[in-house]
Amino acid sequence: MTDQTYKPTVLVVDDEPQILASIHALLEDDFDVVVSTDAMEAVELLKNTQIAVILADQRMPNLTGGEFLSKARELCDATRILITGYVDIDALIRAVNDGQIHSYVPKPWEPANLKVTVLKAATYAKEISQRKKAAEIVAEQQEALARSEAAYREQTKILRSVLDSMGDGVLVTDDSGKMVLLNPAVEQMLGRSAAGTHQSEWAERYGIYVPGTDTLYPNDKLPLARAMRGETADGIELYVRNQHKPDGMLVSVNVRPLKDDSGETKGGVAVVRDITLAKYSEDILRQAKEEAERANRAKSEFLSRMSHELRTPLNSILGFAQLLALADLAAQHQSNVQQILKGGYHLLELINEVLDLARVEAGRLSLSPEPVLISDAVKEALDLVRPIASAQNIMLSADFFAYADRYVHADRQRLKQVLLNLLSNAIKFNRSNGMVVLRCEQVLNGRLRIEIADTGSGIDDEGLKKIFTPFERLAADRNAIGGTGLGLALSKRMVEAMGGTIGVESTVGVGSRFYFELSLVEQAVEPRMDRDFHSGLMALGQAASYQGTILYIEDNISNIRLIEQILARYPGVRLLEAMRGKLGLELANTHRPDWILLDLHLPDMGGEEVLRTLRQDQRTQEIPVSVLSADATPSQANRLKAAGAREYLTKPLDVRQIIALLEKTLQRERPENQPGASGPSFPEQHGHQPDAALRWAPETVTLTGLPAELLQQLRSAVRDGEKDRLDELIATVANQDPQSGRALKNLADRYEYDTLSNLLSEVAQ
Ligand code: ADP
């Protein structure tokens, strides 16, 4: 409603209706006029009507005007006007004094005068009402303010108790760097008086250092200083050492800038966490982990060394026995040689299995899972066991053709190993004229079950319980049949490592059924390059037609002799020998051999380094290198292949494999060159008679210059295995010829007495 239409209400009370009518007529243009002839009735009306001005006659029958207005004053804020004659002057004075009226109109009243008085009174009433409203608003606002102050006090109290109870320190600075809030946790770190220090002195004052040093933290780089520049940072580590923390503490600090509503940085907040203990436990844990890793490395090292130490002598045993077996021996001797081979291979199997098991146990069995063609793996394994089966009159039957072109997810080598273990057990523990049946079958979850059943004596329940435990050979078989008791334990671990399962069912007197399951996969793979090494073997009698130069870098004389003997069958092949890496590199550069056989353990430098040098040198980088090592760990093999070795052959050397590689690598002579004992290119050098000068590298190991007596003493010290005496003599050699001294010391330190003895006897010749 606007001011033009709004009309204040005037209540006129008089017992004379004519007067009421005339006042109504006088005021109705400007006011809503309400009239009443009865003061008591008018009192009631005031209770529920908004009245701006009350006009009351003094003389009325029930209540006087003064009395009525006095009541009206209690009921509303209307401006009160008394209409009174001269005779009522006393009542008027009383009414004015008592504050009952704001104004009065004398009788007889002038209409204009009355109207002006009422208008003024209405304005006054309006002002009063506005003032009252304003006062109400102010009161409301004050109340709201009081309420929000109370809420704020409550919030502050909660916040304070949170900050007080927090283990993390909290500190807040304003934009001048003054600390405006520190909780008790911070006070415990920095002291109660911490608030008073200027930012440029924080590090000195509170003892804040760069962790792990005695250097004070640069003040401008302190996290809180950065927050005051608007930066946010988390996990900043500081070291605090001061009178409150004399033992020092490591803290991690998170900071945020403190911003006002306009986004301007007005200070910084830091939350400081004591991480001393956490860091300490982390350190302990790390140390324990490092210790465990060191121990694990030591174990691997031990495995590798053991593998080397055991395989090196085995290499000679098996290599020479293989050569002997190829010779034309009397039946008795042939059978002796076969015994040596059998024992040797058994030992080799044992070493391999112990190493494998140790690797599995150490979690280091390295697998290269790939899709493996079932027929490949099964056929290869069957081919290998067929001779043993027929020797024992066991019929081998296989039904895998429905799955022949399917693939399983497996490590090719390990899958073959498992198949061989199970097949050879089924043959070994069979009865004579028995049967072994291999079957394939797809089972649930896209898996293939390969089952090998035999007609052997079966395994009882006790036996079945422990059959997959290492070294567990069931009593009945212990003496009769060869074995290590490791095959099944290893097979189980390998199958499981390939994500499969293995099991057995057996009936005593009927036979056993071993099975394992692997996932079938769809993907086809390229055939492997090295698969045909063995299949391409030439008959040894045809060996003569190959020609070329082979460099053999090896410091073990037995191994050298073995290769020499193999090559004795290849008159067209020249063998260069080097017992040290450096000499090997020189020979490779000058003679550019067709094939390099490289041992890894050399006295002067590692074979791996030799390999890398060969690969880096333009003159030698194309020459195929086959690494020979007693270390059968797959990681080492992979590393050397990655470094450029064409093959990684593990000792003991497989004579047939060496021959296959030789024939793969070297060229065959043209027919016109074939007759004759030696190849035309090196008529003066017989392939298997290595040049001693080349072998001993006289330009560096010039033992010929040494006094005969010293040489003699060296020989006897070597013969008697007197290490201390040998060391003394080598020290004397080193005085006269440091290079030879070093070479001898290298050999002596590795207890290569064989080599030393050969070296010393060659000088004597
Ligand atoms: P190994 O064959 O070298 O002794 P394995 O771990 O392969 O070691 O086998 C452990 C033992 O389980 C064997 O010595 C033999 O007693 C028993 N065994 C394994 N396969 C069969 C089988 N097919 N039939 C009967 N007994 C078996």
- For the segment 677-705, what is each residue's pLDDT rounded down to a tens digit? 333 232 233 333 333 322 333 334 557 77
Contact partners, residue 23, CB within 8 Å, separation at least 6: 12, 14, 33, 35, 55, 114
CB 570 within 8 A of CB 686: no
What is the amino acid identity at position 284?
A: I
Q: Hey, what are 619's tokens?
A: 């003159």
More confident position, 283 or 197: 283
Given this model, what pLDDT does residue 395 score?
92
pLDDT tens-digit profile of 201-243? 899 989 999 999 999 999 999 999 999 999 999 999 999 999 9
Q: Closest by alpha carbon to 542, among 572, 513, 500?
A: 572
CA of 425 from ligand 1 middle (Å) equals: 6
Weakest-pLDDT range from 51-60, 138-147, 755-764: 755-764
DSSP one-letter code for 671: G
Given this model, what pLDDT does residue 489 score?
87
CB 323 within 8 A of CB 562: yes
* Interatomic CA distance for residues 674 and 201, integer angstroms: 94
The residue whose CA is least distant from atom 3 of ligand 1 is 483
> Which atom of ligand 1 sits closest to the CA of residue 484?
3
What residues are in contact with ligand 1 under a 6 Å CB criterion?
421, 425-426, 429, 454, 456, 459, 467, 472-474, 477, 483-489, 512
Weakest-pLDDT range from 166-170, 506-510, 571-575, 610-614: 571-575
The residue whose CA is least distant from atom 18 of ligand 1 is 425
Given this model, what pLDDT does residue 532 score?
32
CA of 22 from ligand 1 middle (Å) equals: 135
Instruction: Judge whether residue 526 has pLDDT over 50.
Output: no
The pLDDT-based confidence of 326 (bands split at 50, 70, 90) is: confident
100 φ/ψ angles, rounded to the nearest 5 degrees: -80, -25
Helix, strand, coil share (%) of the chain residues, nearest 5: 50, 20, 30
Cis bond upstream, residue 369 (ω within 30)? no
Beta bridge partners of 395: 435
CA of 350 from ligand 1 middle (Å) equals: 15
Beta bridge partners of 518: 448
Q: Which helix (H) or strand (E) holds 686?
A: none
Polymer length in residues for the chain = 765
CA of 472 from ligand 1 middle (Å) equals: 8
Given this model, what pLDDT does residue 252 score?
96
Given this model, what pLDDT does residue 760 score?
81
CB 78 within 8 A of CB 31: no
CA of 442 from ligand 1 middle (Å) equals: 26
The residue whose CA is least distant from atom 19 of ligand 1 is 425
Given this model, what pLDDT does residue 165 score?
92
> Which atom of ligand 1 sits closest to the CA of residue 514?
23
pLDDT tens-digit profile of 75-131? 988 999 999 876 778 878 887 887 778 888 888 889 999 999 999 999 988 888 888
Q: What is the mean pLDDT of the chain?
A: 83
Given this model, what pLDDT does residue 93 score?
84
Pocket test of ligand 1: the residue of 468, 486, 488 to mutate, having most ligand atoms within 8 Å of its CB, is 488
The residue whose CA is least distant from atom 11 of ligand 1 is 473
- Cα separation values, 609 from 174, 590, 618, 634, Å: 64, 19, 16, 19
From start to end of 299-454, where are the E strands? 369-373, 395-399, 407-411, 435-443, 447-454
The pLDDT-based confidence of 480 (bands split at 50, 70, 90) is: low
Pairing of strands 546-553, 573-578: parallel
> Which atom of ligand 1 sits closest to the CA of residue 468?
6
Contact partners, residue 56, CB within 8 Å, separation at least 6: 12, 13, 14, 39, 42, 65, 68, 69, 72, 80, 81, 82, 83
Percent of the chain with pLDDT over 70: 85
Instruction: Judge whether residue 527 has pLDDT over 50.
Output: no
* Interatomic CA distance for residues 379 and 370, integer angstroms: 18
Pocket test of ligand 1: the residue of 354, 419, 424, 429 to mutate, having most ligand atoms within 8 Å of its CB, is 429
Given this model, what pLDDT does residue 353 score?
73
Radius of gyration of the chain from its Cα atoms, rounded to whole angstroms: 55
Pocket test of ligand 1: the residue of 349, 350, 466, 477 to mutate, having most ligand atoms within 8 Å of its CB, is 477
Mean pLDDT on 370-393: 87
- Cα separation values, 61 from 69, 149, 286, 622, 644, Å: 15, 56, 108, 140, 133
